[in-house]
Chain A
């Protein structure tokens, strides 16, 4: 186990800058998720930490060692790839013991370590099989097993669940988290799925266009997103953004919709703002803002509805069973304590 320290890391492909100087400090044993949309540079960053991609500038330290220019094999890390990257010509046991075999470890020791990792992941009965004889979830587990057997200083995961179906993804999410709690190895996990990041990570790094938008604990990012990008990216369904200004102590849109504000924000008057409210922070009320339902989706546990309130679209997530149908008029209430205000020009939180 070790800390990981990333200092002013940059990556250029020719004249194209992909990563513009990133700093991240990862504590020993921490589970950090790198999230962001496609092309934000998260996989490139992970591959630079792994040593699979050259670093253009800056430094990466694993523990006290500077590893920026060391080959991958000398970094003492283990990586789980999106497509698992299991060696097709080796059995599960050989796949898992490959790294130890390269280190010329004693065969008995290799067997013990492989057995132990197989025990953790429930792979004992599959050790003699080949990767092609396994299901997606089993392959994923073997890939994790290969990482565990190494007992590395850092685990790297590159979108490991994106090839699995939805149900298996939830299950494997739990298994990775349990494995981390049990083994406690420092973990860096790349995903584009913010739900994965929210549920698994101790700390989330939100990346966008090669820049860090925000670093923080999952709930911190959810409760206090520092800008419009993070606010829109974290949380599912996504936050509502409504343009307008503060006038006479209330938030007023161009189309004349009036929304409630918390105390003490009136000072932000006079400039264009974005009013953010999460769908789950909107309640049905007997008297309140009225809107016509333009979309209603019920899942049993909740109802997702889109309302048209004076021309502004507001998405709502109701936990209670409401009898709402397409075209109905619904009254809603917004908790002023849970709204977010952003400067429209800079995108920053007020």
Chain B
């Protein structure tokens, strides 16, 4: 009796695996292709039929990325811009999300969303002029400030959703216990919302890290961020696929590692919060 059951289950699993593989194949294949490109010499990259695994591995592509560009500076710029923009977004967005969720101020949430949906280019020029007048061009501040347009709405929207699902009684209990609104937020709502904060932090970080448009307009040679630096590897004479792919992988790596690390955090946080009655 048990034998056919097991076979059935195994078949189910194989089927599920196959479907999952098909669904994620575009992502995986594109990633594998990028790795392959970054490890091949230019001659192999242009070959037909394409070579997936080269005979000679071209580590020099990675060396070239760091040699020919001030890649470490751009990396540091990216860290500063994304880091500051994300942290500022948490400082502004988490309390804002709490306030909007508790006061049911959906309209202000929509206004924030509109700011996010407006095409960046439409406000980049006036902002560029503004930063010029304020003598901020040439520093990282214009990019940090404008990245808030990306990060704040993400944090606010995720936190609204999170605070709306946390039981209101906890906050009521705290206010009966003698807490002021600020204490209720800081001592009760905030610790409970930790998983939500982690999720919004990561998403804000990814969007800000990968942002290209703001950087290309506002950054100069010294204040360039990584996505802009990768773009600048395309020269007019030729496209060097190897170094380009290597640079792109280097840019992706920190975000990839962070997501992999934080995924565990998110799951752990969610299960910790899933207790009846708090």
Contact = CB atoms under 8 A, between A and B. Distances in A.
B175 interface: yes
A350 B126 CA distance: 82
A221 interface: no
A85 interface: yes
A52 interface: yes
B176 A50 contact: yes
B177 A83 contact: no
B272 A102 contact: no
B275 A85 contact: no
A327 interface: no
Contact of A83 (B179, B272, B278): B278
B139 interface: no
Contacts of A77: 176
A199 interface: no
A73 B167 contact: no
B275 A131 contact: yes
A52 B174 CA distance: 11
Contacts of B169: 81-83, 85
A20 B176 CA distance: 26
B276 interface: yes
Given A89-B192, A102-B178, A81 B172 contact: yes
A187 B68 CA distance: 77
A77 to B, nearest CB: 6
A347 B191 CA distance: 53
Contacts of B177: 73, 78, 98-99, 102, 146, 150
B180 A73 contact: yes
Nearest to B191: A89
Interface string A191-227: 0000000000000000000000000000000000000
A107 interface: no
Nearest to A89: B191
Interface residues of B, number: 23
Given A72-B172, A139-B277, A102 B188 contact: no
Interface in A135-156: 139, 146, 150
Interface residues of A, number: 29
Nearest to B166: A88
Interface string B237-278: 000000000000000000000000000000000001101111
Interface string B162-204: 0000010110111111111001000110011000000000000
A102 B275 contact: no
Contacts of A150: 177
B170 A87 contact: yes
Nearest to A156: B176
A71 interface: yes
Contacts of A17: none
A82 B278 CA distance: 12
Given A88-B273, A89-B192, A163-B277, A73 B179 contact: yes
A92 B178 CA distance: 18
B272 A132 contact: yes
Contact of A88 (B172, B175, B176, B192): B192
A81 B277 CA distance: 9
Interface in A51-82: 51-52, 71-73, 75, 77-79, 81-82
B174 A98 contact: yes
A42 to B, nearest CB: 17
A62 to B, nearest CB: 13
Contacts of A51: 175-176
Interface of A: 50-52, 71-73, 75, 77-79, 81-89, 98-99, 102-103, 131-132, 139, 146, 150, 163
Given A83-B278, A85-B167, A99-B177, 15 more contacts: A72-B176, A75-B176, A77-B176, A84-B277, A86-B277, A87-B174, A87-B188, A88-B192, A88-B278, A89-B192, A102-B178, A132-B275, A150-B177, A163-B276, A163-B277
Interface of B: 167, 169-170, 172-180, 183, 187-188, 191-192, 272-273, 275-278
12 contacts: A50-B172, A52-B172, A72-B175, A73-B176, A78-B176, A83-B277, A84-B278, A88-B170, A88-B275, A102-B183, A150-B177, A163-B277
